Amino acid sequence: MSACAQHVATRISRPKAWLMALRVPTLPAAVVPVLVGSALAARAHAFSAVVFAAVLAASLLIQIGTNLTNDLADFRKGADTSARLGPTRVTQAGLLSPAAVAAGSALSFGLAALLGVYLITVGGWPILIAGLASIAAGIAYTAGPWPYGYHGLGDLFVFVFFGLVAVLGTFYLQTGSLTPLAFALSIPVAALVTAILVVNNFRDLETDRHTGKHTLAVIIGARATRAEYIILLALAYLVILGVWAHDPASFWILLPFLTAPMAARLIGDFRSRQGMALNPTLRKTAALHLLFGLLLAVGLVL
């Protein structure tokens, strides 16, 4: 551990270190798809409070397990160094031991699996497959012999699992079916949660390149990554507009457009900033995802 890391470790209590390890600001990414999927179920008159609570808890646990695994795996692979531009990572800084972080990850995924047993009794084998795949995706993002986050596939997997699978799985558990509307409205959730990762990876583009972490941003470069971010944000609003155009009676579905000025400012920030200057943009993109999802959920139940 460096002298700087030792200094940081002496100033931070163990409970605070665990809060840092959990990456609390990222947890809304696990909440939004459950809210949207449940709002879709409520719209179909099939909302279940018990299923909602179980899915929400499982989703949060998978997110926490993924965060802890990412912290530990990046440390072991040397991807987190003193040159990182983002928030402090607890294993690299010596705030928590690798064994403690590994145990926390295992506990999180284990509790998620226990909740999954109940959810499987509700939804059957499709939920078994989706649950196992989600846990595997959380672990394999940065851990294992071929971490897909190191090979340019992180964006795709986040889009699929934290967007499509999470929304559709929540909806299916409460209704026993899948609908075109549910699939369509999983896309904005997927696009915006992926945009959060895009900002993170764009900020770390140079440090990731130097440590051999080949994120999609490293592979396609700065210009294409900026375009990816703009496309993802635009896609979220275009899908909502398309759903409304297909059914103009659903006026409240347009509520997420209240966040459009925020999205426009974020695009301007993302086009003009780099490095540590993107940390506020990262937080605001996460806030956009949360606010957009909340407004979409409200619009669905009105």
More confident of the two residues 80 and 36: 36
Q: How confident is the model at residue 1 (pLDDT cuts 50, 70, 90)?
A: very low
Evaluate if pTM is beyond 0.85.
yes
CB–CB of 23/90 below 8 Å?
A: no
Distance between CA atoms of residues 263 and 288, nearest Å:
7
Q: Which two tokens stand for residue 101?
A: 């972080």
Classify 214 as helix, strand or coil: strand
CA–CA distances in Å: residue 105 to residues 64, 65, 73, 130, 143: 7, 4, 11, 19, 12
Q: Is 141 exposed, middle or buried (0-12, 13-18, 19+ CB in 10 A)?
A: buried
Copy the structure tokens of residue 266: 């974020």
CB-CB contact of 190 with 168 (8 Å): no
* Cα–Cα distance for residue pair 143/105, rounded to 1 Å: 12
Does residue 81 register a pLDDT over 70? no
Q: Measuring CA to CA, which residue among 157, 173, 174, 192 is closest to residue 294?
A: 192
Does pLDDT of 10 surpass 60? no
Q: What is the mean pLDDT of residues 183-200?
A: 97
